[in-house]
Amino acid sequence: MKACVIVFPASNCDRDMKVALEQSIGSPVDMVWHRDTELSGYDLVAIPGGFSYGDYLRCGAMAARSPIMAEVVKHAERGGHVLGVCNGFQILCESGLLPGVLMRNANLKFICKDVALKVERADTPFTNGYSQGQIITYPVAHHDGNYFADDETLKRIEGEGQVALRYVKNPNGSRNDIAGVFNAKGNVLGMMPHPERLVDPLQGGIDGKPLFDALVKHLAA
């Protein structure tokens, strides 16, 4: 399988994502600059964390209008898989690939710590390395991770099983404790916590590794 990581000005988790993916794939992962417009041949596109364009306007709003994002949308529409983490989640929401929006944390402070998460679904390419209801730990590091969707949207994504992960103890005010969501087709996942920061024992744990291993196994089949 082939995977790439999109790099925007001020992305700062792109190398982390590349290393995590390469550990599971066993081959090099490409870095694609945001001004590029070619994604053909990739099975997985990853959008990493950071502060794209300095988080001016709303977080992810400017990056969502970069040339590469039109290609990411096309990639997702033809069934390609997309993973967005932290700023990547914000960009996916701003680009319309995922429902909802990420707002300022309820306590108006930057949050950086490990958090417990509940796996809501374990029957997807992203999450079948876990068990439904399993409690896992990922780090978070964000100022605008407060997930918001209106009542109608929230009812729809809950009813259609689009919630991937929930916070056990909500750190940022997200509605329904939502930490990650799928698109309707299930081939796009966005989340605020960072699985790529817990894939090696030297990082303090490996709770993030099953996500990458399961995704790579599915795409390489």
Give 69-91 pLDDT, tens digit per residue.
Answer: 999 999 999 999 999 999 999 99
Domain interval for residue 211 = 3-220
- Provide the angle, in degrees to the nearest 10, between the axes of the packed helices 14-25 and 209-220: 60
Whole-angstrom distance, CA of residue 96 vs CA of residue 119 = 24
Whole-angstrom distance, CA of residue 32 vs CA of residue 189 = 19
Q: Which of the residues 75, 81, 142, 194 is marked catalytic?
A: 194
- pLDDT(171) > 90: yes
Q: Is 13 a catalytic residue?
A: no
CATH number at residue 68: 3.40.50.880
Whole-angstrom distance, CA of residue 117 vs CA of residue 113 = 13
Q: Give the closest residue to 197 by CA, choosing from 146, 131, 139.
A: 139
Q: Is 196 a catalytic residue?
A: yes
Q: Quick one: tokens of 142?
A: 């964000």
The answer to whether 140 and 194 have CB atoms below 8 angstroms apart is: yes
Number of domains in the chain: 1
Helix, strand counts (H, E) of the chain: 5, 11
Q: Which of the residues 71, 94, 120, 196 is marked catalytic?
A: 196
Whole-angstrom distance, CA of residue 17 vs CA of residue 34 = 16
Whole-angstrom distance, CA of residue 134 vs CA of residue 120 = 8
Q: Is 86 a catalytic residue?
A: yes
In tens, the pLDDT along 203-213 reads: 999 999 999 99
Whole-angstrom distance, CA of residue 187 vs CA of residue 201 = 29
Q: Which of the residues 86, 94, 120, 142 is marked catalytic?
A: 86
In tens, the pLDDT along 38-71 reads: 998 999 999 999 999 988 878 999 999 999 999 9
CA 73 to chain centre: 15
Q: Is the model's pTM score more than 0.75?
A: yes
